[in-house]
Amino acid sequence: MTVKDYGSSSQSTQPTNVQVIAPATLNAGYTFDAVYEGNTFTVTVPDGGVVKGQRFIVPFIPTAEATIMEASLLPLNSPNTRGNGMGEDSIPTGVWRDSLCDCCKFGPCHPSFLTALCCRPIIIAQLLTRMKMTWLAQRTRFRNSNSNLSDSRTEIDQRWRSTFRNIILVLVFYSVLMMVVPVPLLDPANPNAYDELSDAEKKTYFINSSIHSALSALFGFYFFYLMVQLRATFRHVYSIPEENCLCLYCGGNPRDGICGGGDGNSFCSAGVPVGVEDVCCVMFCPLCTTSQMARHTVDYEYRSATCCNSVGVTKYMDDEAYEGIENGVGEGSVLVV
């Protein structure tokens, strides 16, 4: 499925994976009806059964008569399902691994939480590296035309390997600039401190304060933009639909997002639909948002976190964040909330 298809609401003869929420606790083999875009189709409960409210994924195959053919289910990855035999869990698809507010799940002294709290640019750089994205939030890993392997360019595009270094350089450059452009400190206890400055000092104060404000705004917007693109990429790759802020689309299609949904908008450099929920989460709770993304790609119950490498975890493999995505679940395949 291409990026454009992700944001398109038109039907196709190719299977489209949709997310279904179990209406009740049901045994394996039980069937019930679900509705997608006004079409009723039959869902068969997968092996192991489901509990009420559990989410799972089923292929949606429209026919020429606009009815839905029954198909076998693709079970949703579960946090209790082992991933690659190394002892850690697989990465869940369809839902986040845990809640947005679970940032202290592993304690307030956990490296991922401390990095998100005290030096967020570091963990943003680590997450971008895990997802093989550049320091400008451009993806270097895409699904190819056969929709089987999602790294058609990754063998020749190695820019993601420099992401951590580049963001550290940005952080250092910003820190140095803020130090070499000093702003005179005014006595807070003296309400007339500014008036007592000479004309030359007032001019220097105004210029340096303006430079500081501009640099701070530019630096803040840069990392805000990175986080929005990063969260949208997480939802796209792991097929996590928006659950909140949908009313803000004002009748628009949430699958198209506010930009990046195959509309050729170069402002959304990740090339995936950016949702209103992504912007709101980053704007109002950047700490929780960053921490949630870090926990989603790595289960810290089985892996050791670290602050001092490019991915924030020990013994991390290059393609670990995309393990299992080639099987058809993920990469924007879930189109239904």
Q: Which of 289, 264, 287 is nearest to 278 (CA)?
A: 289
| Residue 176 pLDDT level (bands cut at 50, 70, 90) | very high
Residue 7's closest CA among 264, 257, 266? 257
Query: Exposure of 109 by Cβ count < 10 A (0-12 exposed, 13-18 middle, 19+ buried)?
Result: exposed
Q: Between these two residues, 289 and 94, which has the higher pLDDT value?
A: 289
Residue with tokens 């005179």: 184
Give pLDDT tens digits for 2-59.
333 334 444 445 667 777 777 667 778 777 777 676 677 778 888 777 776 677 777 7
Higher pLDDT, 42 or 116: 116
d(CA 278, CA 291) in angstroms, rounded, equals 14
Which residues, 6+ apart, have CB-to-CB distance to 135 below 8 Å?
A: 125, 128, 162, 163, 166, 167, 170
User: Span 64-77, mean pLDDT?
Assistant: 41
Per-residue pLDDT tens over the stretch 281-292: 999 999 999 999
220: exposed, middle or buried (C-beta count within 10 Å: 0-12, 13-18, 19+)? exposed
Determine the pLDDT at residue 41.
Answer: 74
pLDDT the model gives residue 246: 77
Instruction: Count Cβ atoms below 10 Å from residue 199 Cβ, excluding itself.
Output: 7
The answer to whether the CB of 231 falls within 8 A of the CB of 133 is no
Q: What backbone phi and psi angles, to 5 degrees, belong to 61? A: -125, 100
Q: pLDDT at position 147, please?
A: 39
The stretch 195-210 carries a mean pLDDT of 86
pLDDT tens string 163-172: 999 999 999 9
Residue 30 backbone dihedrals phi, psi, to 5 degrees:
-70, 145
Mean pLDDT of the chain: 76
pLDDT above 90: residue 215: yes
What was the pLDDT predicted at 87?
38
Q: Is the pLDDT of residue 103 over 50?
A: yes
